Structure 1
Amino acid sequence: MTDQVPSRAWQANIGYLFHPVIEQHDNMRIADVGTGTGIWLRDLADALPNTCQLDGFDLSNIMFPSKDALPANIAFHHQNLLLPFPDEYIGKYDVVNVRVMVVALSSNEWEPAPGGYLQWIDCAAHDCVIKGVPEGKQASNAQRGLDLFRKTLNTLGKTSNIAILHSIFQKSGLVSCEEEICSLDNPETRENVNLAVVVGIQHILTAAFKLHKLDEIQSIDQIMELKEAVLGDLHDMSCYFCYDVYVVVGRKLD
């Protein structure tokens, strides 16, 4: 499972790669922090002139694609977001993009300090709900999966509240801060969102199990059984997971 499923589902609901407030030109330098497979950068490369330099940074380089499969203006770098970046990258970017960090980081680790624009796109993972359950029915397996997901995030200390991100931008001295909230309710993307949520539940439960912090689950097999049961509810009842995606943009004054 790569980041392509949630990325493309988010894109279909948000409708843009760059927030409209961000000024674009032919020689932009863009950084994507927590880039994963670089799917956002690869989509961006198709939309921008090849004179733009696109750099992806991630804690792990496992998902980085082969250089042979990339445009010449995309480069990937192994970098921990919480450690100082080399001087060669500081203050060099027109835009720093951050995505899908709300689960990876806790709220006290969010203080941003980039150059140029900062665009942070993330989800209200804790507030995911199930919609479309037929009257008189209960998607009990899907609800149990969500409940375990939330409890496990709290156990692991990932008690982030994406709704405070806009105020963090302002407190960090960023100007022209804007926030847009998009509900992932597009019928055309529901199947992708369902898959992304189910795989997310599986991954967070597996991580907690390996850390011996999951009392309700005694084996990986139980996690896989829960995954199949959740998928069964979604299929049999034609219901779907839904959550909000937040796009927060701000600019650091020179």
Structure 2
Amino acid sequence: MANFRLQPTQLPFLDNVCILEAVDQSSASIQLNAQHKLLVKAVGYHLHPTIIQPHLPAEPKVADLGAGTGTFLVDIANQYPSTAQFDGYDISDVAWLPPTERPANVTLHLTNCKKPPPPALHGAYDLVTLRFLNSGMGIEDWHPRASHAFQLLKPGGALQWIEANFAQVLPILQSHPDAVTSASEKGTVRAMHESPHTDWFVANLPPILDSLGFHGIKQNVTRTDRLPETRAELSRLFFGALYGILRRMAASGRKDAWTLEEAEEIYAEMLREVDAGAYVTCDLHQFFAFKPL
């Protein structure tokens, strides 16, 4: 396993920001687990109930690329026998759930997917999942990620890949007419300028999957504001991610960056606007595909 290293998840929907801003392993895990629960609610499932679940064997082997805390795999493992196998791969172990909080059949690996998986892992998994890697992906990264997933799958294996289209986060919305959004829009525009091409995957990932030989390719779309009760907390998490970007820009000493004090001020105002009814929403694109038998 030492040679199989996955691409770092730099700014997947809040993940890396939470890790970088957290002061210790416990706080990083808490933030990522809160994010995980909210995003599962927004999507509506862990594994798609009609496209993916019926396709899996009774004791599946599952790989999660960009596993974060490992909570996603733990949740899935609890739905299957202890003889199923769940492997999570991530660039950092800072937020991993401790072994005492993971079933014995959930294993986490320090990895970096710039390099392809070793031959020993080719055809090893019934399902490969990827989630919320978009912000850390350049245009050149999508094909290798998809290719590595294809290599990991058994013949007939399934791919589930979920991404957020951050290009849609503006305008900031209001839950009632008198909510103010000026600070939220200003902070979002400034931070998201650092993450171009965040909607490139929408039109281009399906052709990439097709070119690799996947078949049965499907794409579903939901929105993060699907459940009104999650809008405020998802917005706070998203703005926390943007604040992390603004802080790193300030620390870089760039002439075009806000100062740390300016970043703190705009972030505090963004949170006040959320409390008053402003919220962020974007599309969640879910891609499903299968490796031929």
| TM value normalised by structure 1 | 0.90
Moved more, 158-167 or 221-230: 158-167
What letter corresponds to residue 176 of structure 1 in structure 2?
G
Q: Cα distance, 1:183 vs. partner?
A: 0.8
Deviation at 1:213, TM superposition (A): 5.0
Secondary structure of 2:246's counterpart equals helix
Secondary structure at 2:86's aligned position in 1? strand
Is this contact kept in 2: 1:5–1:193, CA < 8 A? no
Match status 1:98 vs 2:137 = no
Q: Following TM superposition, by how much is the alpha carbon of 1:214 offset from its aligned partner in structure 2, in angstroms? A: 6.9
The aligned residue for residue 122 of structure 1 is 163
The answer to whether 1:170 aligns with 2:210 is yes
Q: Which of residues 182, 202, 208 is equivalent to 1:140? A: 182
Instruction: Tell me which of 233, 241, 266 is aligned to 1:226.
Output: 266
Unaligned residue ranges in structure 1 (runs of 5+): none
Count of aligned positions: 249
Show the counterpart of 1:32: 64
Q: CA deviation at 1:133?
A: 5.7
In the other structure, the counterpart of 2:288 is 249
**Alignment RMSD (CA, Å):** 2.0
What is the DSSP-based 3-state SS (H/G/I as helix, E as strand, rest coil) of the residue aligned with 2:78? Answer: helix
Shift of 1:224: 2.2
Counterpart CA distance in 1 for 2:215 and 2:82 is: 29
Shift in CA distance, 214/78, structure 1 to aligned 2, threshold 3 Å:
farther
- Per the alignment, residue 10 of structure 2 pairs with none
Partner of 1:14: 43
Query: Offset of 1:13 from its aligned partner?
Result: 2.5
CA contact (8 A) 1:5 1:192 kept: no
Deviations 1:45-91, CA, capped at 9 Å, x for gaps: 22222221000000112222211221001000011121122333222
Q: Post-superposition shift, 1:134?
A: 4.3
Distance 2:290 2:128 in 1: 10
In the alignment, is the contact (CA less than 8 A) between 1:152 and 1:208 conserved in 2? Answer: no
- Conservation of the 8 A alpha-carbon contact between 1:107 and 1:159: no
Q: Can you list the C-alpha shifts for 1:182-217, whole angstroms capped at 9, x where unaligned?
A: 111211211221122111111222333444457131
Q: Which moved more, 1:200-209 or 1:51-60?
A: 200-209
- C-alpha offsets along residues 78-114 of structure 1, whole Å, 9 cap, x if unaligned? 1112112233322201111001110111122111122
Query: Is 33-42 or 44-53 further displaced after alignment?
Result: 44-53
1:191, 1:181 → 2: CA distance? Answer: 21
Q: Tell me the CA shift for residue 14 of structure 1.
A: 2.1
Q: 1:213 to 1:25 in 2, by over 3 A?
A: farther
Once residues 199 and 214 of structure 1 are traced to their aligned partners in structure 2, the CA distance between those partners, rounded to angstroms, is: 23
1:136/1:69 Cα in 2 relative to 1: closer, same or farther (>3 Å)?
closer
Against the structure 1 CA distance between its residues 133 and 251, is the aligned structure 2 distance closer, same or farther, given a 3 Å change threshold?
Answer: same
Distance 1:25 1:50, change over 3 A: same
Structure 2 residues not aligned, in runs of 5+: 1-17, 19-30
